[in-house]
Structure 1
Amino acid sequence: MTDPISEGPQKRSLTIAGHRTSISLEPVFWQALHDAAREKDISLAALVSDIDEARSTPLSSAIRVWLFQRALHLR
């Protein structure tokens, strides 16, 4: 079994803001993103769209930062 933290990024496609986009994230971030969407009771695409609207960095980086800040606030 591989360590989920050391696994490389996985690319997935989503439709956000009416267009398809590909996002590369490590599995641990995909899982955290799915968990956050489920807790907010919104779709993964809706959550990514919210993050996309507020970002000033590449989308994958913005998602990682958003998840990190969320983890800090959940402590």
Structure 2
Amino acid sequence: MTVKHSITIAGHATSLTLEPVFWDALHRAATQDGRALAQVVAEIDEARTTNLSSAVRVWLMERALARQG
């Protein structure tokens, strides 16, 4: 089940629709990087070529794969 979350990035409100496992992973990634959640999402937003929710999922998967070695 997906859940819609509101977040403000680059001075404007937007929303992400993510499954709880991805939302939790996004929070953990921001904490691990010592950055605010909005900073991480803004970075993903700037680089994306698809909708923001999909871009977040891809970013999290790529991060997980890179950390595996």
**TM-score class, shorter:** over 0.9
1:63 aligns with 2:50: no
What is aligned with 2:7?
14
Larger of the two Rg values belongs to structure: 1
Provide the C-alpha distance between the structure 2 equivalents of 1:22 and 1:15, rounded to a whole number of angstroms. Answer: 8
Give the TM-score, by structure 1 length: 0.89
Match of 2:66 in 1: 73
| Bigger share in helix | 2
Deviation at 1:17, TM superposition (A): 1.1
CA deviations over 1:18-67 (Å, ceiling 9, x no partner): 10001100000001000000011001111000000000100000000000
The Cα RMSD (Å) is 0.5
Unaligned runs of 5+ in 2: none
Q: Percent of aligned positions with the same letter in both sequences?
A: 59
Distance of 1:22 and 1:16 partners within structure 2: 10
Aligned partners of 1:9 and 1:41: how far apart in 2? 26
**TM superposition score normalised by structure 2:** 0.96
Mapped to 1, the partners of 2:55 and 2:45 lie a distance apart of: 8
Unaligned runs of 5+ in 1: 1-7
Letter in 2 for 1:38: T
